[in-house]
């Protein structure tokens, strides 16, 4: 058995400048704040962040944005964080944010495809809009579809509810949003867990993310941050 327990700073040590990082959660709910804080402390720059949203000021991905660490944001909804618009429209090139908006269902499915080794999927969402610009279209059954390509990342920051020392993880409440699929779509997966238990303490029927996907486990995530 491999004990994957690390401190937050140890777990994020390999995240360097220019890395691509997936962050789970929805509007900063279900986001591993203990891992976000460690990335802020380490300070890597020019990150590409794949997340449902930009968090809110002072929470979630919003902390990385305020700290000037994000160069490109691939997200579905950014309206709760006014700094996104400010950074997108700044005249200071070094501070400028590239924001790539993706329909939420499409974002989730692209990540799922990345985790499952699929080459992409067809969707009618975005046909005839700016979403379709530069994308391949196919017609089947008399209907036009966009070919959406998979998303993967070098790292995934995942929030788990209960995780054992080998990384087997369960999710409650909003921790189920994006976290399970991101855990399968990154090269190095870090779980920030509310509770860490011994191997065997979790009923195998309740495991959502098997430990084979997880590289590091960090305890201490606050339970009240649902």
Q: pLDDT grade, residue 222 (50/70/90)?
A: confident
- Whether 150 is covered by a domain: the verdict is yes
Gap between the Cα atoms of 142 and 159, Å rounded:
42
- Strand ranges, E, within 52-149: 70-75, 98-101, 121-123, 137-140, 143-148
The pair phi, psi for residue 80, each rounded to 5°, is -90, -5
Name the DSSP class of 201.
S
Q: Where residue 93 sits, what CATH number does that domain have?
A: 3.40.1080.10
- Whether 77 is covered by a domain: the verdict is yes
Beta bridge partners of 84: none
- The residue written with tokens 């080794």 in the block is 117
Gap between the Cα atoms of 42 and 34, Å rounded:
13
Gap between the Cα atoms of 156 and 154, Å rounded:
7
Gap between the Cα atoms of 124 and 148, Å rounded:
10
Strand 153-164 relative to strand 121-123, pairing: unpaired
The tokens for 217 are 């486990």
Averaged pLDDT for residues 91-98:
86
- Express each pLDDT in 129-153 by its tens digit: 998 999 999 999 999 999 999 999 9
Give the residue ranges of DSSP H helices in the chain: 8-11, 33-42, 61-66, 83-88, 104-116, 179-182
Q: What residues make up the domain containing 15?
A: 8-219
Percent of the chain with pLDDT over 90: 89
- Whether 87 is covered by a domain: the verdict is yes
Averaged pLDDT for residues 190-194:
97
- Structural domain count of the chain: 1
- Whether 31 is covered by a domain: the verdict is yes
Residue 105's alpha-carbon distances to 114, 128, 148, in angstroms, are: 14, 17, 11
- Whether 159 is covered by a domain: the verdict is yes
In the predicted model, what is the mean pLDDT of the chain?
94
Q: Model's pTM, two decimal places? A: 0.94
The pair phi, psi for residue 136, each rounded to 5°, is -75, 140
Averaged pLDDT for residues 58-85:
94
- Whether 73 is covered by a domain: the verdict is yes
- Whether 224 is covered by a domain: the verdict is no
The tokens for 13 are 């040590």
């Amino acid at each position: 058995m491999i004990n994957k327990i690390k401190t937050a700073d140890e777990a994020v040590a390999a995240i360097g400048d220019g890395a691509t990082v997936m962050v789970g959660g929805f509007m900063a709910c279900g986001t591993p704040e203990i891992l976000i804080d460690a990335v802020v402390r380490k300070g890597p720059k020019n990150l590409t962040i794949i997340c449902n949203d930009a968090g809110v000021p002072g929470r979630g991905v919003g902390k990385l944005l305020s700290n000037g660490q994000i160069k490109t944001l691939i997200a579905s909804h950014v309206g709760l964080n006014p700094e996104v618009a400010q950074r997108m429209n700044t005249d200071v090139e070094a501070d400028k944010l590239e924001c790539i908006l993706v329909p939420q269902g499409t974002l989730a499915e692209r990540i799922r495809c990345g985790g499952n080794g699929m080459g992409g999927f067809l969707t009618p969402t975005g046909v005839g809009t700016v979403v379709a610009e530069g994308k391949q279209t196919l017609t089947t059954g008399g209907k036009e579809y966009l070919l959406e390509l998979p998303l993967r990342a070098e790292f995934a920051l995942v929030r788990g509810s209960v995780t054992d020392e080998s990384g087997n993880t369960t999710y409650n409440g909003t921790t189920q949003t994006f976290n399970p699929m991101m855990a399968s779509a990154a090269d190095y997966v870090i779980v920030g867990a509310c509770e860490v238990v011994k191997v065997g303490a979790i009923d195998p029927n309740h495991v959502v993310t098997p430990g084979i996907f997880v590289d590091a486990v960090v305890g201490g995530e606050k339970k009240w941050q649902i």
